[in-house]
Amino acid sequence: MSTVAIGHAWRVRAVNEEGTSEWSRSAFTARDDATAEPLAQFTLSSVFGQAPLNLVVDASTAYDANAITEYQWDFAGLHSVVGSDAITASHEFVIPGTYTITLTVSNAAGLSDTKSVDVTVTQGIPADAPSTQEAARLLAQASFGTSSIAIQEVRQLGLEGWIDAQLELQGPPHLDYVTTYSNGSNRDARHEIWWLDAVDGDDQLRQRVAFALSQLLVVSDTGFTLANAQYGVTNYYDMLRNNAFGNFRELLEQVTLNPVMGIYLSMLQNDKGSNFDNTRADENFAREVLQLFSIGLHNLNQDGTLSGGNTFTQDDIESFARVFTGWNYKNAGQWDRPLFTGQDLINPMEAFEDHHDKDAKTLLGGMSVPADQSARADLEMALDNIFAHQNVAPFVSAHLIKQLVTSNPTPEYVSRVAAVFNDNGNGVKGDLGATVKAVLMDFDARDPAASDNFGKLREPVLRLSHLWRAFSVTPGNLSARGEYNTYSTALKNLESITGQAVLRSASVFNFYSPAYSPSGPVQTAQLMAPEFDIFTDSNILTTASRINDQVHRHYKQTTTSSELNPSFLDFGPEIELAADSQALLNHLDLLLLSGGMSDDLNTVLLAHLDSLPDNEAGHVQRVQDAVSLIVASPEYLVQR
Amino acid sequence: MNKHYSRRRFLKQVAAASVLGSVMGSMNGKLGMMGSALAASGDYAGLSDYKALVCVFLYGGSDSFNMFVPTEQGLYDNYAASRGSLAVDRDSLLSVGNNSGLGFNPNMPNTRSLFDSGDLAVVSNVGNLIMPVNKTDYLSDSADIPVDLFAHNHQQEQWLKGLSSLPSSLVGSGWGGRMADLLVAANSNNKLPPTFSMGGSNHWLPGNASTPISLNTNTGLDPISFMNSKGTPSSAARANVLSQILSLPSDNPLQQQAALASARGISSADEIIDALGTTDTLQTPYNASSKLAKQLRMVARLISGQQALRMQRQIFFVGMGGWDTHDNQSVRLNGLLTELD
C-alpha cells in the first residue's frame, strides 16, 4: 500500500501464483476531493445484441466526494432521463444500428463529468424466421458449410431472402492472387486462394455453384501442359464463377472459346480436314460438348427419364468437329504457334479463317449451317443448335440437383427445376440463377422428412470446408501469407489422399460418374451415388486421418516447429458447453448434422462423452471426440 | 471365316451367364491356354500354390495398332496407307521371333525381350465388337454393334465389364470380379477379397460375390489417426465408439453403404498392415516418378506378402492414364509407351 500525491497518476499490477503479472491498461489519477469534479461512470446490461434490445444502464459506480446532485442520461438523442435519483435508466432499441449512450453527472459545486459508451444493435430474428435446423440444412446445400454466424444470417433474411441476397453477391476473381504468388507453374497459389475464398468469402452460393459447374464443364491440370498453365486454369474457374448465375448459353460459349478448354479437349489449333493428307478435324471437343456438357447420349423427357433414342450420331459429331476448326490463341500471330512461348491463356480464342472448314454442315435435328460462313458465325449457330435441344434443361438441372441436394431426385423434382431452366418466368431459357433457386427452394429439397433414398454422400472438399467454417479455422504461424493449409498433404495435392481437388479430376469424366452405383445397399436399391466412386478404402481412411489430425492435433496453434504451418481450429464455444455433454451434442448436432442426429447416435456419443473426466482437459477431449466421431459417422457422411 | 472377337471361351469359366444374354465375339484360340488353366482346377478350395493376375489398364485406350505392327511388306504397306503420318517407320520396328513378320513399337525394347524369351504373349483382336462389322453393315444399321459406341467412357466400361450388348449401367460386375467370385474359395483369409486395386475405383474388379479393396501406392492402407484400435487407450476408445456408430441401423441405403464401406476399410487396414510390415525389402528398382511403377511396386509387395495375407489367388488392378492421345499422338504415345515398357 502506498500514498499517491494529488494529481499524480498510478497503475495497478496483478500478480498470479506463477508470478505472471500484467499492469492495468488504465491509469488512475489521484484527486483532490475538495475541488474535483464528479466522476461519470456506468455499466450497461449489454453493448451488443439483436433487436429488440432492452438496454439497462446503471450509474452506481459514479462518484463525487460529496454527492452527485444530478444524473442526466441521453440515449442517442432518442430519449433523455434526468433526475437526482436517476441512478438507473433503460431504453428499448428496435431499429438496428450503433447508438451512443451518454451519462452526465453534476455535483453541488456545479461541476460535471461526462462519459459515453456505444451500443450496437443488430437485426433481430423475425417472428416467421426459419428454424435453426432449417437454416442449417439450407447452408449444407448452398454454402461450403454451416457455421453459427451463417445460421443467424439465414434466419434474419429467411431462406428465400438469403438466396436472393446471395444471387446479388460476387467476390473478386482469383487470378490476381495467383499472378502475384505463382510463376505460372507453381501450383500452390490457385488452391490457396480457392480455399481462402471458400471458407471466408461472402458469395457462398455463387462459389458453391461454380464448384458444381467445374464438375460438369470439366478441365483438369493433372496433365503436364495445364499443370504449367496455372494462370489460365485459375481464369477458367473465375469464368465459371462469373457465369454461375448468368445464362447457360453464354456460359457454354465462354467455355467453348476458353484456351485452357481448347488445350484440354484439343479444340485449340484444330485444323480443318484435308483429303490430300487424309486428315479430319479433331472430334474430341465436339463429342464432349454434346455428351458431357449439354445433352448427354440419350434423349430425355423434361423429368430426366429416357424418352428413347440417341441424341446424336457419329455424323453429327463430324459436323460439329468441322464447325470447331480454325481457333487459336488470341495472340497467336501464326497458326502453328507452339506451346509455352508466351501464349495467351486468359482471353478467348480467335479464329484463323484459312484454317476453318467452310463447307456446309448439318447439325442436330437436320439444322443446316450454310457454307462460307466465318468460324464465329458457325460456332454461334452450333451453340444455338445445342442450346435449343430439349435435353439441356433436364441434363443441367439434374446435375445441379445432384451436386447440391440429392443423388436420386424424383423425376417430378427434376421436371419442376427443368421447367424453370426452360423459362425463368420472363420467357428466358437457361437462367442459371433462377434454376439454382428452384433447386434449393423446391419442396423436395426443403423437406427434412424426405424419402429414405434422399441425400448425397458429402464430397471430400466439402467435408474439409465445413470443418474449417464451423470451427473458425486460423492460418498457422508459418503460413506465408495467411493461407490455410492441411497437415502432411498440401492442398494442391488433396486428390492424392481424398480423391478430389479443385480442377484436378483424372479425366474429363470428373471425379465420379453421375450414374455410379456402388455394389451393396445402394445398387440393391437401384439407386445412384456418384460420390462413392472415390469413397474407396484408402480414401476413406486417409481423409478421416487428415480430419482427425485437424481435430485432435491442430485444434490450437501448436508449438512444435515442424507443425507451425498447418491451420488450426477454434473450439472455444464448444469447450464452454462441454461440462454438459448433452448440451455439447445439441450444439454440434445443429452445426454438423443440421439438427437431424438420431437418438441412437446421441445415446452412443453421450455415453462416451460422459465417460471422459469433467475437468478442463476432459472437456477439451469431449469436444474433440464428439466432433471427430460425428464427422466419421454415416449420418454426417450422407448429407440429408 | 475371318477373325472373330470373342472372350466366350474364356468367360465360360467365369459364369458370364449371370448376366442376361451374354454375347461376346469369339477368340481364335489364343486364350485357350488361359481358359484351360482355369478349367483344370475344378475345385478351387484348398489350393496350396499361389497365383496372381495383374491387369495394367491403359485409360483412354492405347492406339494398339502402333504397338504391335506387321513388318511383312505387303501387310505393312496396308497398315501405312491407312495410318498416314501416324504410321511407325518400318525400319524402326523391333521384330520378334524368326521371320514372324511382326514387330513392336521402337519404344518397347523391354517388351520385345520378354516376348523373345517366351515370357510375354500378345492376344490381339479382342474388343467390344459383338460381331464382325463392315462399313456397309454399319451404315445400313444391319449390324449388331456395342451400345453407345464411340463414347469413350461407355466403351471402356464395357471392356472392363465384358459385355457390350447392354448399357453398362445394367451390368453390376467386371470380368475380373467374376473370376474372383470363382476363386474366393481358394483363399484361407476370408476377411479380404481376392481383388485389390492400386488404381482406384474401376469397373473390372467388382464381382457379384466380392467387392475389391482399394489401396494407396505408398502404404497400402493406414489405420485412421487417433481412432486406431491398436493405438493409445483414448485412440482405441474412439475406434471402439466408431465401430458402434458404424453398426447403428439406418433406413437410408446411402448411409448403409457409407457404414459398410467405412467398416470394411478399417478392418482391411488391420489385415494388410501386418502383412505389409514384413515386405519392404524389394530389390527390384522402381521408377519413383512413375505412377505406374509405384502401383506395380505395391502390387509386388502384396504378392511377396501373400503368405502373411493368407491368400492363394489374387487379382490386381493397376491403372495408367493419358492414353486418349487425340492430338500430338506421335509424341505423346512414344512417351507413354516408354513408361509402360
Give B278-294 pLDDT, tens digit per residue.
656 667 777 777 888 88
Is B276 near chain A, with CB under 8 Å? no
Residue B12 has pLDDT above 60, yes or no: no
Sign of CA dihedral A180, A186, A188, A190: positive
pLDDT per residue over A34-55, tens digit each?
A: 678 899 999 988 888 888 889 9
**DSSP code of residue A327:** E
What is chain A's mean pLDDT, rounded? 93
Find, among A504, A501, A496, A485, the residue nearest to A539 by Cα.
A496
CB contact under 8 A, A541 and B227: no
Q: What is the CATH number of domain A43-122?
A: 2.60.40.10
The DSSP bridge pattern shows strands B102-104 and B68-70 to be: antiparallel
Q: Would the CB atoms of A521 and B256 count as touching at under 8 Å?
A: yes
* Residues from chain B contacting residue A640 (CB–CB below 8 Å): 252
Residues in chain A with CB shorter than 8 Å from the CB of B148 are: 297, 310
CA dist., res. A258 & res. A236, Å (int): 7
Q: Do A634 and B85 touch (CB under 8 A)?
A: no
Residue A188: pLDDT band (50, 70, 90) is very high
Q: What is the DSSP string of A18-76?
A: TS-EEE-SS-EE---TTTPPPB---EES-SEEESSEEEEEE-TT-B-SS-EEEEEEEET
Model confidence band, residue B155 (pLDDT cutoffs 50, 70, 90):
confident
Distance of CA B59 to the CA centre of its chain: 11
CA distances (Å), B47 to each of A539, A601, B43, B184, B314, in order? Answer: 33, 44, 9, 11, 12
Residues of A in contact with B85 (CB under 8 A): 277, 279
- Yes or no, beta carbons of B252 and A638 under 8 Å apart: yes
| pLDDT interval class at A248 (50, 70, 90) | very high
Is B232 in the A-facing interface, judged by CB distances under 8 Å?
no
Identify each DSSP E strand in B83-235 by its residue range: 94-95, 102-104, 195-197, 213-214
Q: Per-residue pLDDT averaged across A6-20, rounded?
A: 71
Question: Looking at residues A150-177, what average pLDDT do you find?
Answer: 95
Nearest to A541 among B148, B223, B238 (CB): B223
What is the spatial distance between Cα A367 and Cα A369, in angstroms, rounded to a whole number? 7
Decide if pLDDT at A276 tops 90. Answer: no
Instruction: Tell me the sheet residues that pair with B213.
Output: B196
Residue B279 confidence (pLDDT): 59
- pLDDT at res. B38: 44
B129 touches chain A (CB under 8 A): no
Rg of the Cα atoms in chain A:
31
SS (H, E, C) A97-141: EEEEEEEEEEECCCCEEEEEEEEEEECCCCCCCCCHHHHHHHHHH
User: Distance from A11 to chain B by nearest Cα, in Å?
Assistant: 47
* 3-state class (DSSP) for residue A613: coil
- Residue B330's pLDDT is 67
Helices (H), chain B: 8-12, 32-40, 73-83, 109-116, 135-139, 152-161, 175-183, 233-246, 253-276, 291-304, 306-309, 329-340
Asked if A297 and B251 come within 8 Å (Cβ–Cβ), the reply is: no
ipTM over 0.90: no
List all residues 6 or more positions away from A572 whose beta carbon is below 8 Å from its beta carbon.
Answer: none
**Is B227's CB within 8 Å of A538's CB?**
no
Which chain B residues are closer than 8 Å to A509 by Cβ?
A: 153
pLDDT of residue A301: 98
Cell representation of residue A587: 450444439
Cα pseudo-dihedral A475, A481, A486, A488, rounded to 10 = -120
Q: Are A638 and B254 within 8 A, CB to CB? A: yes
pLDDT digits (tens, 9 = 90+) for B100-109: 888 888 888 8
Query: Is the confidence at residue A441, as pLDDT, over 50?
Result: yes
- Please tell me which residue, A48 or A348, carries the higher pLDDT value: A348
Burial of A24 (0-12, 13-18, 19+ CB in 10 A): exposed
Total count of residues recorded for chain A: 640
Would you state the pLDDT for residue B312? 87
> For A423-502, where are the alpha helices, taking DSSP H only?
432-441, 443-446, 460-470, 495-498
Report the share of chain B in percent with pLDDT over 70.
Answer: 83
Q: Does B144 touch chain A (CB under 8 A)?
A: no
Of B80-94, B150-164, B255-269, B309-323, where does the model show the most confidence? B255-269
On chain A, the residues whose CB falls within 8 A of the CB of B222 are 538, 541-542, 545
Name which of B225, B248, B270 to mutate to probe chain A: the one with the most chain A Cβ atoms within 10 A of its Cβ: B225
State the pLDDT at residue B98: 76
Residue A230 has pLDDT above 50, yes or no: yes
**Of A106-110, A555-559, B31-35, B217-221, which has the strongest mean pLDDT?**
A106-110
Please give the residue of chain B at the shortest CA–CA distance from A536. Answer: B214
The band of B20, judged by pLDDT with boundaries at 50, 70 and 90, is: very low
Interchain contact B291–A (C-beta under 8 A):
no
Cα gap A207→A209, rounded to integer Å: 5
pTM comes to 0.81
A300 sits in which H/E element: strand A298-300
Question: Cβ-count burial of A388 within 10 angstroms (0-12 exposed, 13-18 middle, 19+ buried)?
Answer: middle
> Which residues, 6+ apart, have CB-to-CB distance to B111 below 8 Å?
B104, B120, B340, B341
Cβ neighbours of A513 in B, within 8 Å: 153
**Using 50, 70 and 90 to split pLDDT, how confident is the model at A440?**
very high
What percentage of chain A carries pLDDT values higher than 90?
79
Omega of the bond prior to A530 within 30 degrees of 0, cis? Answer: no
Out of B216, B242, B264, whose CB is closest to A629?
B242
Sequence-distant (6+) residues with CB within 8 A of B335 are: none
Q: How many CB pairs under 8 A join A and B?
A: 189
Q: Cβ distance B291 to B217 under 8 Å?
A: yes
Give residue A27's pLDDT band: very low, low, confident or very high (50, 70, 90). low
* Nearest by CB: A522 against B238, B249, B253: B253
Which of A18-27, A42-51, A540-549 has the largest mean confidence?
Answer: A540-549
Closest CA to A472 of A572, A587, A559, A560: A572
Q: Where are the domains of chain A?
A: 43-122, 462-639
**Residue B34 clears pLDDT 60, i.e. is over it:** no
Minimal CA separation from B6 to chain A, in Å: 25
Least Cα separation, residue B25 to chain A (angstroms): 23
* CB B318 within 8 Å of CB B54: yes
Name the residue of chain B whose CA is nearest to A225's CA: B332
Q: Which residues of A touch B249 (CB under 8 A)?
A: 600
The alpha-carbon gap from B5 to the nearest alpha carbon of chain A, in Å, equals: 23
Digit-coded pLDDT (tens) for B125-145: 778 888 888 888 887 878 888
Q: Which pLDDT score is estimated for B39?
A: 40
B258/A640 touch (CB, cutoff 8 Å), yes or no: no
> Between these two residues, B168 and A395, which has the higher pLDDT value?
A395
d(CA B333, CA B227): 45
Residue A308 has pLDDT above 50, yes or no: yes
Q: What confidence tens digit (pLDDT) does each residue in B210-250 have?
A: 888 888 887 788 899 999 999 999 999 999 999 999 999 99
Q: Does B61 touch chain A (CB under 8 A)?
A: no
Residue A298: φ, ψ to 5° = -120, 145
Which residue type sits at A425?
A: G
Q: Which residues of A touch B254 (CB under 8 A)?
A: 407, 453, 455-457, 521-522, 527, 529, 638
- Tens of pLDDT, residue by residue over A615-629, are 999 999 999 999 999
Task: Determine which of A489, A538, A548, A633 to mutate to test the interface with B (most B C-beta atoms within 10 Å).
Answer: A538
CA-nearest residue to A497 within chain B is B216
Q: Is the pLDDT of residue B40 over 80?
A: no
Which residues in chain A have Cβ-Cβ distances shorter than 8 Å to B59? Answer: 506-507
